[in-house]
Structure 1
Amino acid sequence: MKPIQTILYATDFSDSSLPACEYAVYLAQLAGARLQVLHVIGEFADKRKSRIQPETLALLEREVEIQAFKSMEEFCHDHIGTTVPCDSEVVMGLPFQEILKQAEAIDADLIVIGSHGRTGLEHVLVGSTAERLVRRSVRPVLTIRSRGV
């Protein structure tokens, strides 16, 4: 088995992502691995984009990006601190695709992600980033279900 040197942890900053963060930090400590924290800003659907003036859309996207960087800084400070070597990244796109791209770019040995545990109609309508990752990733994916589900 290949040693774990780099762990990619993807977060949406929600409370339900915290158990996965705890696992990612713990595994990074055990393995002496570097932790890469990733947040993906979901793109606006094309239908909504066409209704917004391009200049307004650009300003809105920039404001969302600025807020995401601030949230990432707070999240890493509050939940990771200096416990493990850590880098962070904020990107825009489809979450599962961007997570796979980032995992490839940093040659991640493991991807850790939380799962909301949706079922039934909600799962069909909302979908699951974690499920898409597990199905498409050539790298190991550890999914951690949120505590409240």
Structure 2
Amino acid sequence: MVPIRKILYATDFSESSAPACAYAQTIAQLADAQIHVLHVIGELADSRRSRIPPEAFEIFEKEIELYVVKEMEEFCRRHLGDTVTYTSETIIGNPCQTILAAAQQQKADLIVMGTHGRTGLEHVLVGSTAERVVRRSSIPVLTVRATP
């Protein structure tokens, strides 16, 4: 069996991501592994970004980052506490690409993330970051469906 030393847990901070966090936590405890908690702030599409003056966009971006850092601290405290060793990071970027890049940078052995379980037209329109990560990842990915 391949040892698991580092788990990348990707979260959007929603309550539907909590079950995936519980799996990451349990696996980390069983394997004596570390968790790297990652939240990706999606980039604005160029068409929307061009409508915002650059100086206003920089202020907006910094405010979002400050807010997300606080949210990350609260999420980790509430869901992980001191039960496992973890680090955390927030990055602005394309969620799928950023998760895969972070997994490689962190030398993760496993990616754990939640999935909203969208189907039908909603799945076609919104897509699934988890699905894209599963298809492109070179390491195992555990997806945990949110409880309805």
Same fold (TM over 0.5): yes
Q: Displacement of 1:45 after TM fit?
A: 1.2
In the TM superposition, what are the counterparts of 1:1-149 in structure 2 within 5 Å? 1-148=1-148
Deviation string 1:96-143 (CA, Å, 9 cap, x unpaired) is 100000000011000000000001111111110000000000000000
Q: Aligned letter for 1:11?
A: T
Q: Aligned letter for 2:88?
A: S
Q: Percent identity?
A: 61
* Structure 1 residue ranges without an equivalent (≥5): none
Query: For 1:60 and 1:125, how far apart are their aligned partners in 2?
Result: 27
Please give the root-mean-square deviation of Cα atoms over the aligned residues, in Å. Answer: 0.6
* Structure 2 residue ranges without an equivalent (≥5): none
TM normalised by structure 2 equals: 0.99
Query: For 2:26 and 2:74, how far apart are their aligned partners in 1?
Result: 19
Runs of 4+ in 1 over 4 A off after TM superposition: none
The count of residues paired between Structure 1 and Structure 2 equals 148
